[in-house]
Structure 1
């Protein structure tokens, strides 16, 4: 009896992790026969779990939505991830979610063992509400995420930066968070190309469209970063002293778009709201670079460098020998040192 109960819980957990399972897959995971799987499914259905069974050879088992929420079975890693996510959601900028996330977190805290809470405390994330940050409607975000998960066409009205609304029909593939904003990466059926959409500017239409086969999509994070970079009023291009396929270059895709040049260098195209912001972003790079465009950016870097030298107490200027660091313009050290 205990073995059967444990197997039923394991079966319920599996049904919650994927949209649909074949009988053969469940039998292999549980280490039982397909006939036993059918009997166990019947037992769960007798307990009012809404499990549907597809017809034919390709049919499978699916846990649907019922009149009430079934108990969610989480492993240790999933429970930690949910708790950290709930803590972060209290300051996520999603309208109406903060208080709800806090209530859910209190319920989770009552049942989690101490060993898991120690892991959660180690991953503590503090969030501060940024003034003026765009708020995403929780219902809209859920509708978009569901369409991505179920691979269903999504129709919505999209408001551009100038306030104009246009209807869009898309195949939604992935949601990406960038800064304080949520973006959808989707295939635009009218334009026959990949597009990014800010979720706070979307107004979804129901019902959603038919299911679609997923396409080979670009790297979602890099695609959003490139799109956001092009929208800034100040654009820049710098040559990085690393190849495009290096780890350092891949990390800079959070700034903008990487363009290969040769086996030793690549170009970084990025944007910001001011020249000062462009220089600030370049200051965080971990690699040598050369300004290609615009020339005013080079002047901005010189001004920034002078401020840093002054802050370090080296007021001689960039051309002064005394302002150079150790090993720059100074005599060679004595042999053996």
Structure 2
């Protein structure tokens, strides 16, 4: 059963559609009696919404002539938060609402926003791609504390309109550097937001974390989009399921910063694990890899205790790599073994 507040809002929506609505018609649409309709009308009037009573045989209620609802008074960040929540709710298996309900709610929010902000929100809806899997904290909040909502709004609009941009980018190591990019899309994956695009200075496709972007500037002109554009595949890479890819899960006794140096966010998910014997800080690394040899090499480079959970074939690959390393260590460069 609908709550009274929901029915009052439904009454307002009916009146906003224009014309005069009879009390009987409104009572039927709201599934209440005529007396309750009058009470709801008074609620709207108490909120400062001018509802006129029309007398006569075809009388009823209508909004005062020339009255228009003011735009929804939300800041850019608040509007993005509302739509971001709706987008997450529309993901398969993430909530009770259907995709149709989410699209309808998003459309209603968009209609009452100021035009300029509505266009930016449209750009977010059109350009941001959500990958499957667990929703990370940054996805729930629209990019995390470090990612600016204004950066996301600006990047989304530039990607949709095919406008080149410039910004300062702070890499993992070293000072911030200025980049000029043709933005292709934005992808939310494993709790982080990424921009994909063509780096003009390096003449190559690149991926950038949004929380490391500052000083966003829109440049003149437009650019052509590649025919094979696929921002999700560009970002997800080996994380995405696909034919011939091995699902690898390994427990590692190491600091997160050590693991991330060899298994970056775009390649693997890394989560803490409780209940493992010993006093170490165990982490679970999950990655989908085309070659198990690549995983074995990374584990060897990490040089920390690890336990293979899956697949069983990785045990043999790691053992084979170990034998190669031992053999290489005992062979003298001059040809004589020690």
Higher relative contact order (CA 8 A, sep 6+): 2
Using structure 1 for the length normalisation, give the TM-score. 0.36
Using structure 2 for the length normalisation, give the TM-score. 0.36
